[in-house]
Structure 1
Amino acid sequence: MPYKTAQIRLVSSHPEVYEPCDDSFALVDALLADRTNLLEHKPSICLEVGCGSGYVITSLALMLKEEIPSIYYLATDMNPHAMRVTRETLQAHGVDAELINTDIMSGLEKRLEGLVDVMVVNPPYVPTPEDEVGQAGITSAWAGGEDGRVVIDRILPVADTILSERGWLYLVTLAANNPSQICRSMREKGYASRIVVQRSTEEESLHIIKFWRDPEVRPSLKEASTQNRSAPTRLGESLLSQFSRFSFWKSSNGSGSL
């Protein structure tokens, strides 16, 4: 029996707000695929950065509310129109979240430091000219600057600050963002990672990656550095093999998930 997610017909819209698309659906599918783990995780605070239409945060609240009604949900977006649209989407589905009009988490890092158990992000990841990043209106929803990494690289340190010790981050990335390098960067901060869902369309290849703190990661990095600074850890090799395998699936099957 499928679990509830936000209904497209009840998702509010505005010309300057990004509507649910393949990346939004892939992120919600990743959360659904990991739902059993999320229920066992019993998060207290869930946050979406860049909520847009509210489709993702609403879907997350719907899929967890029956078993864990006490979760506190927050969502941020720099687009003021997204605040209204997300509020309407939440209300149409009978769920609630605190909405904050801010750029990523500006002004909230101290308040939420070490408290967020689940963080979901569908960032602006499309490679664009640098001057398009952070523009007013809907352009800010996709403009990611060089390699589509400008906003992603701003989000990752914030995630490291606000995630709890048991916090999880679900991040949408594009193949052009070099997701394997993102995983290596997060590994240096002590995070393990895995691809939850991979989806290929005619225009892009998406990876939904889950990150979590792993006490075994930092020692393995130190040991690897001592023995051979140029040798990748087994974790890195595993992740790279995932991306290589998905590249093959892209040409043969079109989609896949772990």
Structure 2
Amino acid sequence: MSTSYPTPVYSHAARGEFTEVYEPAEDSFLLMDALEKDHERLQQLSGQRLRSGVSISGISGWTFSVISVSDSPPPPCTDVNPAAAQCTATTASCNSVSLQPVITSLVGGSGIEAAWAGGKRGREVTDRFLPLVAQLLSSKGLFYLITIAENDPEEIIRLLGQCGLTGESCLSTRAGNERLSVLRFHRS
């Protein structure tokens, strides 16, 4: 049975003090749909009630969710942009979720950065991050990555496969001229 969740409050993104922070777009909502689709799977990983907080990244407008066990400390999330980190904290607060934004490049602590990819095939940041995924992902963890066709999702799946992770496209859609996919990885 599929559970439906309300769209998080994010009306402050791209407004007021957050004018430099992109508001969620098709990629953001596709990721939320993928996490909603995987809710039961995510819940089974911990055997406990899970919470998810939607964070809005300032560089690209990508949205990612931090999944954590309900009685654990606030999960960290990272961004290189201080305004985006503050917007993430505001978004979490508006949705009664506790998150701990950390301003850093790529990965800080055990958090994950959502950033504009750029570069060749739009993977400049992604290619720097991929080698770290296998080190950061717990034995029961799941890693979700939003890609476009130009990112060569099949190659990303092969690269992480060489690091002992199994990956697949769990949800895809077309947004204008882009083909968006959410890739899901777990330990083999």
Q: Is the 8 A contact 2:171 2:182 kept in 1?
A: yes
Change over 3 Å in CA distance of 1:172–1:32 after alignment to 2: same
> Percent of aligned pairs with the same residue?
29
1:52 corresponding residue in structure 2: 57
Unpaired runs of 5+ residues, structure 1, are 126-143, 215-258
Q: Is the 8 A contact 2:79 2:106 kept in 1?
A: yes
Structure 2 matches for 1:152-191, cutoff 5 A?
Answer: 152-191=126-165
1:151 corresponding residue in structure 2: 125
Instruction: Tell me the CA shift for residue 203 of structure 1.
Output: 2.3
Determine helix, strand or coil for the equivalent of 2:23. coil
More strand by share: 2
Deviations 1:45-80 (A, max 9, x none): 9999x85169845x656xx8xxx5224421100001
Deviations 1:197-256 (A, max 9, x none): 101121200110001110xxxxxxxxxxxxxxxxxxxxxxxxxxxxxxxxxxxxxxxxxx
Change over 3 Å in CA distance of 1:159–1:75 after alignment to 2: same
CA distance in 2, matches of 1:175, 1:164: 28
1:38 corresponding residue in structure 2: 42
Instruction: Tell me the CA shift for residue 7 of structure 1.
Output: 2.7
1:75 corresponding residue in structure 2: 77
Deviations 1:148-188 (A, max 9, x none): 01111111122222111222100001100111011111111
Task: Confirm whether residue 6 of structure 1 aligns to residue 11 of structure 2.
Answer: no
Change over 3 Å in CA distance of 1:194–1:160 after alignment to 2: same
1:19 corresponding residue in structure 2: 23
CA distance in 2, matches of 1:56, 1:9: 14
More helix by share: 1
1:98 counterpart (97, 100, 103): 100
Change over 3 Å in CA distance of 1:30–1:192 after alignment to 2: same
Determine helix, strand or coil for the equivalent of 1:161. helix
How large is the RMSD of aligned CA atoms in angstroms?
3.0
Q: Is the 8 A contact 2:79 2:115 kept in 1?
A: no
CA distance in 1, matches of 2:4, 2:51: 22
Amino acid paired to 1:170: Y
Q: Is the 8 A contact 1:173 1:207 kept in 2?
A: yes
So what's the TM-score if we normalise by structure 1? Answer: 0.61
So what's the TM-score if we normalise by structure 2? Answer: 0.81
CA distance in 2, matches of 1:80, 1:198: 30
Q: Is the 8 A contact 2:27 2:146 kept in 1?
A: yes
CA distance in 2, matches of 1:82, 1:11: 9
